[in-house]
Structure 1
Amino acid sequence: MKVALTDIPAEGKDLSFSDAAAEPQDLGPQVEVVVTAPSAQLRLERVGELVTAKGTYAAELVLACSRCLGPVPLSLEGELDWAFRPLGQEDREEVQLAEDELEVSFYEDGQVDLGQALRDELGLALPMAPLCREDCTGLCPVCGKPVKPGEPCCRRNEVDPRWAKLAQLKK
């Protein structure tokens, strides 16, 4: 969702929106299903060309377990505090950013893309390695079937052929 600077009055503007166009691949490689579209409730304020947005976000997703690829339902909620400034010609080149500029995003053509900012925020909120449960043992590297806790995997009984000669020495 893009908001034009001219649509933000001097006293500010309250805005609620849902990013129904968000696809799983837009949010991260481990996202399989978007159950509830990402949504945000924001208070937009403008001081000159600087736009600030404060509020909350929410989304319900299904991720892939990093060990067994099973479904991992995830409900995300959090606080937002964004600052946007126009992308000038000098910003198009590689420049050194000051510490206070690291939290600032940019907009072009007098429009702030809140949908992209929300997708970026959700991508940062996702766990690096989602697990369906803490004791998930993953998949067998030989047959690809789920490994059950306490049960032997088909690979455990195999001897690496490179070490077979050493096994004969033990006999």
Structure 2
Amino acid sequence: MTTHVDPANPWVFSTRELGRRAGAMRAFHRDVPAPGDDRRIGLDVLAVPPGATIVLDVRLESVTEGVYVSGTASAPLAGECARCLDDLTDHVTVEIGELFAYPDSVTDETTDEDELPRVADDHVDLEQTVRDAVVLTLPLAPLCSDDCPGLCPECGERRADLGPDHGHETLDPRWAALRERMPN
């Protein structure tokens, strides 16, 4: 199956200058906008905001079986603390290292299509590669601080805002009838 790419897409890099000469290399620095909500980079609780600038510093190197892409991607993150639900921001820099197989190469013929990306029309599309690298580095439960006390399970208020004497009286339901008969 041949995939076509849009060369105008900022995530797409041309490999034409490399040819198929093993060892040919080209470096790129590119600022690309993060995709919108439908193709969001991240998790539900922490992600790259849509439209935020992702900085790509990558090298494309021609190897026998394809084009090896290496480098870094840096991006801002926004989300919420998994304990207290406060907004939080962060920054992530991930290492990228991915082989894009040439069409009709041994690697192309011996791997499944979802196993390895492919060079398509002399271009490589780095969006999925960057997405995978970012998602793998994100915490599943991001915290605003390591010692975040979270929310009170009874009233839902932030424990950090509540005093040390905060508590909720819990009455065993079996004693509720007696409490109603007690004088105030």
TM beyond 0.5: yes
CA distance 1:84–1:33, shift in 2 (3 Å): closer
CA distance 1:55–1:135, shift in 2 (3 Å): same
1:139 lines up with 2:151 in the alignment: yes
Which has more strand, going by share of residues? 1
Preserved CA contact (<8 Å) 1:56 1:79 = yes
Preserved CA contact (<8 Å) 1:5 1:112 = yes
Q: CA deviation at 1:132?
A: 0.7
1:8 lines up with 2:22 in the alignment: no
Q: CA deviation at 1:108?
A: 5.9
| 1:57-136 matched pairs, under 5 angstroms | 57-85=73-101, 91-92=112-113, 105-107=116-118, 109-110=120-121, 111-136=123-148
Work out the CA distance in 1 between the residues paired with 2:100 and 2:149: 44
Point out where structure 1 has 5 or more consecutive residues left out of the alignment: 94-103
Preserved CA contact (<8 Å) 1:50 1:83 = yes
Name 1:152's counterpart in structure 2: 166
| Identical pairs, percent | 27
1:165 lines up with 2:181 in the alignment: no
Work out the CA distance in 2 between the residues paired with 1:121 and 1:134: 24
Q: CA deviation at 1:18?
A: 2.4
Point out where structure 2 has 5 or more consecutive residues left out of the alignment: 1-10, 103-107, 178-184
CA distance 1:58–1:92, shift in 2 (3 Å): closer
Work out the CA distance in 2 between the residues paired with 1:14 and 1:33: 24
Give the total of aligned pairs.
Answer: 154
Name 2:45's counterpart in structure 1: 30
Preserved CA contact (<8 Å) 2:66 2:101 = yes
- 1:95-129 Cα distance to aligned partner (Å, 9 max, x none): xxxxxxxxx73126343211221122111111221
Which is greater in Rg?
2
CA distance 1:123–1:85, shift in 2 (3 Å): same
Work out the CA distance in 2 between the residues paired with 1:124 and 1:152: 39
CA distance 1:52–1:7, shift in 2 (3 Å): same
